[in-house]
Amino acid sequence: MNARDRLIVGLDIPTMTEAEKMVATLGDTVSFYKIGYQLAFAGGLEFARELVRDGKQVFLDMKLLDIDNTVAKGVENIVKMGVTMLTLHAYPKAMRAAVEAAKGSGLCLLAVTVLTSMDETDLINAGYEYDPHTLVLRRVEQALSAGMGGIVCSAEESSAVRKIVGPDMAVVTPGIRPAGSDAGDQKRVMTPADALSAGSSHLVVARPIVRAPDPKAAAQAILAEMRTVL
């Protein structure tokens, strides 16, 4: 894959009008988009279908978690949308149900390990006995066993994750911030070049691009940095 196939722009945008304008602004510079809760509930699911029809790749960031049957039925319908990637929380039963439902399709199922907005204190407050690094690696092993297509983790964990999953699984890292940019509410961040060097296969970048004065120039700068490593 080249840099353009590895950069996923997060459409963390409140309205369809703004999302459509952003995609038009970025043009051929970007070929891969993430749609999460914010846009999904403002018409983003149909927009995902439109992007697929236009030849774009879509990462549907739904972080599914429910009883096995509900997860499976949801995945079956998402397969029909033609999106490239879908996230689930890395709970073993949910992952196994999703893998079975997506069997034979081109959908890459991604296991969300520990959100990049969470640190050790956050995990303790949520009732977990593990620190972020330990919990990530535990969930990575479970995702590998379940047959998932990839992992979502902080770039700080990419190197350790890559050692477990080998060269073929996707390692998708949000919380990417070019040098000098504001980390915002992310607590475990890394620059694009460092993330790729650490073992990430795909980088999710939202605010540094979609809130930039010139989004296209911001995306081009990130792609240029990525190419220095690739």
Q: Does the annotation list 93 as a binding residue?
A: no
* Structure confidence at residue 179 (pLDDT): 65
Element (H, E) at 84: none
CATH 3.20.20.70 fits 3-229, yes or no: yes
Q: Does the annotation list 131 as a binding residue?
A: no
Element (H, E) at 19: helix 16-26
In the predicted model, is pLDDT for residue 140 greater than 60? Answer: yes
63 given a catalytic annotation: yes
Residue 116 has which token pair?
Answer: 């990049």
Which of the two residues, 145 and 115, has the higher pLDDT score?
145
Distances (CA, A) of 178 to 9, 13, 71, 110, 196: 14, 20, 35, 24, 13
Q: Does the annotation list 78 as a binding residue?
A: no
* Structure confidence at residue 189 (pLDDT): 66
Residue 148 has which token pair?
Answer: 């998932």
* Structure confidence at residue 132 (pLDDT): 86
Q: Does the annotation list 177 as a binding residue?
A: yes
Mind listing the pLDDT tens digit for each residue in 170-185?
A: 999 998 988 656 545 4
Mind listing the pLDDT tens digit for each residue in 190-220?
A: 899 999 999 999 999 999 999 999 999 999 9
Q: What is the mean pLDDT of residues 158-162?
A: 93
Catalytic residue, from 21, 56, 63, 103: name it. 63
Please tell me the distance from the alpha carbon of residue 216 to that of residue 209, in angstroms, as a whole number. 7
